[in-house]
Amino acid sequence: MPTAGFLPPHLLERIGGLDLIARTVVQGFVAGTHRSPHRGAGEEFARHRPYQQGDEVRHIDWKLFGRTDRLYVRE
C-alpha cells in the first residue's frame, strides 16, 4: 500500500524499520499466505489431549468422555 500523502516524509523515515502487529485476526483475508495464531481453529482434527483448566468447553470430545469417563479436548 503506498504511503505517499498519508504521512509526512520525516515521520516515514523514523518509522520505516518498525514492524506492525495486528490487534485482531481477519478471517479469510489473504488466505493461505500466513499461519493462524489460533491452534486448532481449523476444521481438521489433529489429536486429543487431556483437558486442562481454562480450555474451552466447546473443544471437549464428549463422545470420548462417555467411553472413558475422562475429559479430553480435540486439537
Model confidence pLDDT, tens digit, residues 37-75:
656 555 677 889 999 999 999 999 999 999 999 999 998
pLDDT band per the 50, 70, 90 thresholds, residue 26: low
CA dihedral of residues 27, 31, 37, 39 (deg, nearest 10)? 90
For 11, 36, 74, the CA distances from 44, given in Å and listed in that order, are 45, 13, 10
